[in-house]
Amino acid sequence: MTQRIVIIGAGMATGRALEHLFDAGADVNVTLFNAEPRGNYNRIMLSPVLAGDKTYEEIVTHDADWYAANGVTCRFGERVAAVDRAAKTVTAANGDVLPYDKLIFGTGSDPFMIPLPGHDLEGVIAYRDLEDTERMMSLGPDNKVVVIGGGLFGLEA
């Protein structure tokens, strides 16, 4: 019997989970939600994109053809507003209610912005996704920056 799987988040972990499901020949019907308007890409490679050494297209792990070939229903740019574990449904932000047999959360995290004076000024950017990378790139090469934080991206920046 086909399992209905809803996945919330299209990061690297859920991308690998999908690969394992399909490689194992699982009989699944997958719906993939992602708040970002795209599917899986190698987030670790955002620093080379920022540096101009790679393009976004070079760090995509699953493109539209891959999702289509595997029958994944993509709900990119959409958030899940509610999960009803008792009814085994998720409710999308637009009100759509989807039943599931299995639910996978892979939502990642949000960067912590230190609440110091000025943290909300123009040009103060958290670094987590492609939009952040593109925003920094749009500032141009002649701008000086200060990096606060020692996470993966902070150390590479």
Distance from the first to the final alpha carbon of the chain:
48
The per-residue pLDDT for range 50-72, each reduced to its tens digit, is 889 999 999 999 999 999 999 99
Look at the pTM and tell me if it is higher than 0.75: yes
CA atoms within 13 A on the CB side of 141: 2
Q: 3-class DSSP state for residue 69?
A: helix
Q: Which residues of the chain have pLDDT under 50?
A: none
The per-residue pLDDT for range 10-29, each reduced to its tens digit, is 999 999 999 999 999 999 99
